Amino acid sequence: MVRKFFLLTLFVMPAALFAQEAIKVGYINTMEVMSQMPEVKLMNDSIQRQVALFQSTIKELEDEYTKKQSDFVQMQDSLPENIKILKYREIQSISERAEAFQQDSQQRLQELQQRLLTPIQEKFKKALEEVGIENHFSYVLDANAILYVSPQSTNVAPLVKAKLGLK
């Protein structure tokens, strides 16, 4: 009987001690911290420059379409049928090019954003992991996905900002 008690104590005690070990939980508003990184401003500036280029090209195509359309409307009564068809197809072609360019531009902007955002996310994640390891956090959760934050939880944003060199 004593032997059974000793064996039970031998197996239960470590589990009880493990269960009493404090779990340290932190939280952070990822978007708030990342938005303060200088790399994000550079990324946004680069994207805005691309948007401006794409918009100017789309504007040129729209202007060309509008001019050809108005010219066609003014002259259509005096044109032979085969020239009307040619002019109509030309106008339709401009419209299709503008639509294709707009779709391609959106795809290119998404690719550019992802290409520029990936190293920023990796840098943030590395800093967050270092803070978690240095401060013995079991978990660090994103504040935007948490419905309740316990007073025992720690806001790790100031630690991560310091690690990233942000104010």
Asked if residue 45 belongs to a domain, the reply is: yes
Asked if residue 13 belongs to a domain, the reply is: no
Report the distance separating Cα 167 and Cα 114, nearest Å: 26
The residue segments making up the domain with residue 141 are 22-164
pLDDT score of 4: 52
pLDDT score of 13: 52
CATH number of the domain residue 160 falls in: 3.30.910.20
Asked if residue 154 belongs to a domain, the reply is: yes
Asked if residue 120 belongs to a domain, the reply is: yes
Measured in whole angstroms, how far is the alpha carbon of residue 139 from the centre of its chain?
23
pLDDT score of 56: 96
Asked if residue 41 belongs to a domain, the reply is: yes
For residues 122 and 9, the answer to whether their CB atoms sit within 8 Å is no
Asked if residue 2 belongs to a domain, the reply is: no
C-alpha distances (whole Å) from 52 to each of 3, 4, 17, 40, 65 are 80, 78, 62, 18, 20
Please count the structural domains in the chain. Answer: 1
Asked if residue 14 belongs to a domain, the reply is: no
**Mean pLDDT by 10-residue block, N- to C-terminus, for the chain (167 residues)?**
50 53 87 95 96 95 94 89 92 94 96 96 96 93 88 90 91
Asked if residue 30 belongs to a domain, the reply is: yes
pLDDT score of 6: 45
